[in-house]
Amino acid sequence: MISKLLQHMVKHIDAFLMTCLFFTLLVGLFVLYSASGQSFARVYAQGINIIVALSFMWAAANVAPNQLQRIALPLYVLGVLLLITVTLFGSISHGARRWLNLGFTLIQPSEIMRIAMPMMLAWYFSKREGKPMMADFAIGGLLLLVPVALIIKQPDLGTALLIAASGFYVLFLAGLSWKLLLGSTVLFAASTPVLWSMLHDYQRRRIEILLDPTQDPLGAGYHTIQATIALGSGGIAGKGWLKGTQAQLDFLPERTTDFIFAVFGEEFGLLGNLLLLGLFSLIILRGLVIASQAQSTFTRLLAGSITLTFFTYAFVNMGMVSGILPVVGVPLPLISYGGTSMVTLCLSFGILMSIHTHKKLVAT
């Protein structure tokens, strides 16, 4: 009886993907313990975040893809309405208007769009079987532009970047022309002066610091300089767990969230970084396999977008920490401390598992 219950509970969990996630989350708890100054309380809180996130993953894995397809449009509309509400009535914290006060709790509607955006575009293009027309891509681009513009206005450049990436991947996988991509790139380059003038002062400062962090070593460039020192001092094998001086002596800022990769790199070195990259690569490869085996346009586009967005998530954080990308406030997926991003990520992986395991059920 108990064995049958357990089999029923895990029948929609992909064993390979779950194993990779388990070891990655385990690595995250170890490095968080070090990054937090050996705080059991912080590790315990992250453990609770993981349990909640895995519960959401299990729930999403048990929802059939056709049900996800039915809620794509209502979820997108809800997300946009909440973003508009935040713009008008949202709570301001640290100069940004990102949260909506419901009285009993605060919610961040932009997190909803991380799931809703790829679902919406996958639903839209699934209704246009065959080769989509240019008008379809124009409408898809508009559907993407609206929430991204609202999130940039908050301002929250990191989240806007991830949502823009998730939508772009759907457009690309749906058959977006290379000629159009090249033309868009040229247009973007030509409009750089206009876009530069639209950025906030602190956003322009981030780009300037990217080019030369030493121009403000104790201010805007401090994060980048300390992170690169930590990564470089790790060498091949690292200084050892709990022995990273940049983190333990409190030189490294935001070391439990955005810059936790620097802590990991200092303590475990190049070999540890390769191990972590290997885990991320296995997760990404599994996601791409699931996308390639998907049975419908909706599931193929959604699985592909989720997988490539996870890649973008990791790439942006590691690039930010290593000094090749500007600091945009993107945590390292599955490693950085935080509940909201953990739930969003695990929800995405639950959708991937649903796409794979329900495919098997239909095939048999």
**Residues 267-321 pLDDT 10s:** 999 999 999 999 999 999 999 999 999 989 999 999 999 999 999 999 999 999 9
What is the chain's Cα-based Rg?
21
d(CA 297, CA 153): 33
d(CA 248, CA 254): 13
Tokens representing 248 are: 């333990």
The per-residue pLDDT for 95 is: 67
Residues 6+ apart with CB under 8 A from 48: 339
Report the range out of 216-220, 277-281, 321-325 with the highest average pLDDT: 277-281
The per-residue pLDDT for 363 is: 44
User: How does DSSP classify residue 215?
Assistant: G
The per-residue pLDDT for 100 is: 78
Q: For residue 181, how many C-alpha atoms fall within 13 Å in the half-sphere facing its CB?
A: 9
- Contact of 334 with 263, CB cutoff 8 Å: no
d(CA 280, CA 292): 18
d(CA 316, CA 310): 10
In this prediction, residues 316-338 reach a mean pLDDT of 90
What percentage of the chain reaches a pLDDT higher than 90?
A: 54
The per-residue pLDDT for 46 is: 95
Whether residue 105 has pLDDT greater than 70: no
Q: What is the pLDDT of residues 48-81, one digit of tens each?
A: 999 999 999 999 999 999 999 999 999 999 999 9
* Strand ranges of the sheet holding 91-93, from the earlier edge strand across to the other edge: 91-93, 96-101, 106-107
In this prediction, residues 100-110 reach a mean pLDDT of 75
The per-residue pLDDT for 3 is: 62
- Contact of 332 with 318, CB cutoff 8 Å: yes
Give the helix ranges, DSSP H, for 62-177.
65-89, 109-126, 134-153, 157-173
Q: Hey, which residues does 178 pair with through a beta bridge?
A: none
The per-residue pLDDT for 252 is: 86
- Contact of 35 with 301, CB cutoff 8 Å: no
The per-residue pLDDT for 362 is: 46
Q: What is the pLDDT of residues 124-141, one digit of tens each?
A: 999 887 677 888 888 999
Q: For the residues of 27-50, what is the DSSP string, one character each?
A: HHHHHHHHHTTS-HHHHHHHHHHH
Residue type, 279: L
Cα angle 208-210-216, degrees, rounded to a multiple of 5: 65
Q: Hey, which residues does 91 pair with through a beta bridge?
A: 99
What percentage of the chain reaches a pLDDT higher than 70?
A: 93
In the chain, count H helices and then E strands: 15, 3
Nearest of 244, 233, 231, 236 to residue 271 by alpha carbon = 236
Whether residue 253 has pLDDT greater than 90: no
The per-residue pLDDT for 193 is: 77
| Average pLDDT score over the chain | 87
Q: For the residues of 311-356, what is the DSSP string, one character each?
A: HHHHHHHHHHHHTSS-----PPTTTSS-SHHHHHHHHHHHHHHHHH
d(CA 286, CA 24): 14
Q: Which of 250 and 171 is assigned the larger pLDDT?
A: 171
The per-residue pLDDT for 361 is: 46
Whether residue 263 has pLDDT greater than 90: yes
- Give the chain's end-to-end CA distance (angstroms, integer): 24
